[in-house]
Amino acid sequence: MNWDWKKKILKPLAKMMPLSKLRVALFRLSGYSIGKDVFISEDLIISDNLHDMNVFIGDRASIGPRVTLVTSSGPNMSKIEPHVKVVNGGKIRIENDAWIGAGAIILPNVTIGEGAVVGAGAVVIKDVPPYTVVAGVPAKEIKKLEWKK
């Protein structure tokens, strides 16, 4: 079975699984790079092209319910296409120990740094530095975390 078909079948199944471990396993089988001890809550939406493998999730990351990761977006056949920026195949990187709150949206070409927190409902349009809390639309820094190893 080639990867495109595997992804097309397994990705929707992963969203519906009742346990995080099953969701993580199916997203991995779909071709996404997901580290160890990751928690993925219900209804993770990954909007990408079928052949893209542009989502990377580090160890111990936690992703809340209804989070949306957008690596590709465009107007399709609309007449506005020549007048807007089309992002085709951007990457999203969620580093180790990051926490993405419920309903957050992460747009293409964004890295969520190690130990960073994205508040619920935030729309992330640019990189989030390590150990930083962001929230809002668009997401803005609201706090630096003191990290003790």
Share of the chain above pLDDT 90, in %: 64
The CA angle 97-16-44, to the nearest 5 degrees, is 35
CATH code that applies to domain 3-142: 2.160.10.10
In angstroms, how far is CA 135 from the centroid of its own chain?
Answer: 16
Task: List, for residues 95-140, the tens digit of each pLDDT value.
Answer: 999 999 999 999 999 999 999 999 999 999 999 999 999 999 999 9
Task: List, for residues 14-53, the tens digit of each pLDDT value.
Answer: 888 889 999 999 999 888 999 999 999 999 999 887 677 7
In angstroms, how far is CA 109 from the centroid of its own chain?
Answer: 11
Q: Cα–Cα distances in Å, from 21 out to 12, 29, 84, 95, 131?
A: 15, 12, 39, 19, 26
Q: What is the pTM of this model?
A: 0.88
Q: Which residues are 112's β-sheet partners?
A: 94, 128
